[in-house]
Amino acid sequence: MGRSCDTSARVDAVCHAMPGAAAEATTVPELGAEISRQVGRVVPHDGYTLVAVDPVTRAYVFSVGEHSYSTRSQRRLAIEDAHRRDRHSFTQLVSGRRQVGVFGSGSPKERDSEHQHDILAAEGFGSEMRIALTHGGVLWGGMVLLRERSRTPFLPAEVQQAERLARHITFALQRFVSGKPLRPIRCGVAPGVALVGRDFEVKGVTPTGRDALRALVPPPGPTDDEELFALLWNVTHMARSASGPALSRIPTPQGWIALHAQLLEGTVAGDVAVTIQPAAADTLLPAVTAWYGITSREQAVIEQALQGLPVKQIARRLGLSPHTVNDHFKAIYRKTGVSGREELIVCLSG
């Protein structure tokens, strides 16, 4: 009884501490390391991967990890997951009663995920825990915890503790983005293009595309092209799967950058062009609305402001009083951390 109470108190302490600690993180690696450290107080693990996704399009926003799967294995697992070939695919966890699933527990029910166990064994791991990060019916990301083969697999009690933590890990992701003010795109981030082949190898990239990708990789920066181009595979896969454009909007210290991926016509089947460029206002606003908790009415006010309309005209168009419009602006400034209307428009317009 006493041990159970101690564990429950520790879970409560982690839930309380995590969002605030995440808001203080200045880089994605710092965020991942802090969340892993906090979660490890309740669910010990040897390695982890943390992924944030665009809350509107579900494309990757960032991915970070330590002592985790290789890039190639992560890509294979994510593609298998998108096709719901695993018992605990993130898609199933999002829509199911539980947000947490475990591989490597020895359960006979896992026999339909042989490739998952093959990858676990090849990478030296014995057990994986998947945590879907959702809130308000929206997928915000996922976390994978790993244990080496010599360790005890994740236990049912730890699954229950992870279920309690999931919502607070989600809040931590949200706070990492929304806890920082909107930033305008700085000079020097010019649009670029990368051509990605069917095997996810980058066939070519413009110099400006390479520079823009570097802006997406946190300090100390990419060590090689594989790390630099790893940001492209997910949005490329989404464009192929949907046979149409795919989009991700990514916050960086230089402002928000958009990845647009689209299948090319008249080339080798499956070739995808990815444009990397500062996010335009119409592209960025839906993502900012989600991350910063902006209401639909506040979004409508922003859309009118981006057209350069004064408060009285915005009020007439939306059927509101000027006083109410100004109240909406104050709420928007508070949520996004900008000083006023001019800065808001600059941050959204690039």
**pLDDT averaged per 10 residues in sequence order, the chain, 350 residues:** 67 86 87 94 95 94 91 79 65 80 70 71 90 91 94 92 94 92 78 90 91 78 76 89 88 88 79 92 95 96 96 97 97 96 89
Distant-in-sequence contacts of 305-312, Cβ < 8 A, 24+ apart: 305/329, 305/341, 305/344, 305/345, 306/281, 306/345, 306/348, 306/349
Give the residue from 279, 312, 341 where a domain finishes.
279
Could you tell me the CATH number of the domain that includes residue 210? Answer: 3.30.450.20
pLDDT of residue 47: 96
Q: Are residues 135 and 72 in the same domain?
A: yes
Q: Do the beta carbons of residue 135 and residue 171 sit within 8 Å?
A: yes
Q: In angstroms, rounded to a whole number, what is the distance separating the alpha carbons of residues 173 and 144?
A: 14
3-state secondary structure (DSSP) of residue 341:
helix
Same domain, 270 and 315: no
Q: What is the pLDDT of residue 172?
A: 94
Would you tell me how many other CB atoms lie within 10 Å of the CB of residue 142? 26
Task: Supply φ then ψ for residue 44, to 5 degrees.
Answer: -60, 145
∠ CA 118-121-125, nearest 5°, is 130
Backbone angles phi, psi at 180, to 5 degrees: -115, 140
Q: Please indicate, yes or no, whether residues 267 and 133 belong to a single structural domain of this protein.
A: no
Q: Are residues 96 and 59 in the same domain?
A: yes
- Amino acid in the structure at residue 29: P
Residues 241 and 345 in one domain: no
Residue showing tokens 């990815």:
274
Comparing CA positions, the residue from 2, 82, 89, 6 lying closest to residue 41 is 6
- Domain count for the chain, please give it: 3
CATH number at residue 305: 1.10.10.10
What's the CATH number where 61 sits? 3.30.450.40
Residue 67 Ramachandran class (φ > 0 left, ψ -120 to 50 alpha, else beta): left
For residue 12, the model assigns a pLDDT of 87
- The boundaries of the domain holding residue 339 are 294-349
- Please tell me the predicted confidence (pLDDT) of residue 80: 72
Contacts of 348 (CB under 8 A, 6+ apart): 182, 281, 284, 285, 288, 302, 306
Q: Is 49 domain-assigned?
A: yes
Task: Give the span between the Cα atoms of 54 and 49, in whole angstroms.
Answer: 17
